[in-house]
Amino acid sequence: MTHLRINPSILSADFVNLQAELQRISTADAVHVDVMDNHFVPNLTLGLPIVRRIQEVSPLPLDVHLMIEDADRWAPQYAETGAASVTFHAEAAAAPVKLARELRSIGARAGMALRPASPAEPYLDLLGELDLLLIMTVEPGFGGQSFLDLTLPKIRRAADAIRGAGLPLVIQVDGGITEETILRAADAGATVFVAGSSVYGAEDAAAAIASLRAAAGSRAADGGHSGT
């Protein structure tokens, strides 16, 4: 069975006590770091100096998600912080293949993200240049939104294309992930799950992570990717 990963998003964390909040999720697989510039999305969050400092104190690898304009310029600088993976939006990259190769050359896994309304088909020929395909299951910009089921067919089509090409990249989903919605996302073919409020809103973050992992694992054990 493919290893399922839970990457809690610190967008839902207490930013005043961020180092302690990182320790709360130390049983997860990675820390999902949302970078927003108030241009590509209508919100402003963390910048390069803060991500660099998070990298220094985090107990887990950083999974950086750039919701910013001019990704071609900025993404390599985030990779240079030592982040394990850096994901840029296809809609914000002028030369996605060149950018993915540059990220990999620095030592980060290269990820590409798609908004809910962006089809996967124009990018399927690029998948061999990537390590991760992030399919947003909410409109990017704010935490606490509800999962959009309309993204499930896109996840399935992307998973079919990846499997058909024999590629090793994973599908990540981000937005509205709970014990209930993770079942549908895992069934569609996702294996990496970003969860914000469902982890940080829980009294016991470690227990919430374990419950999400168990829920996704139970779906995968049932066969997953049913096509229904």
Residues involved in catalysis: 34, 174
β-bridge partners, 32: 9, 63
Q: Which amino acid is at 43?
A: N
β-bridge partners, 89: 113
CA angle 154, 85, 97 (to 5 degrees): 65
Q: Are the C-beta atoms of residues 166 and 160 closer than 8 Å to each other? A: no
β-bridge partners, 43: none
Hey, how many other C-beta atoms are within 10 angstroms of the C-beta on 61?
A: 18
Give me 172's structure tokens.
């990540």
Nearest to 183 by CA among 202, 155, 144: 155
Q: Are the C-beta atoms of residues 193 and 173 closer than 8 Å to each other? A: yes
DSSP 52-66: HHHHHH-SS-EEEEE
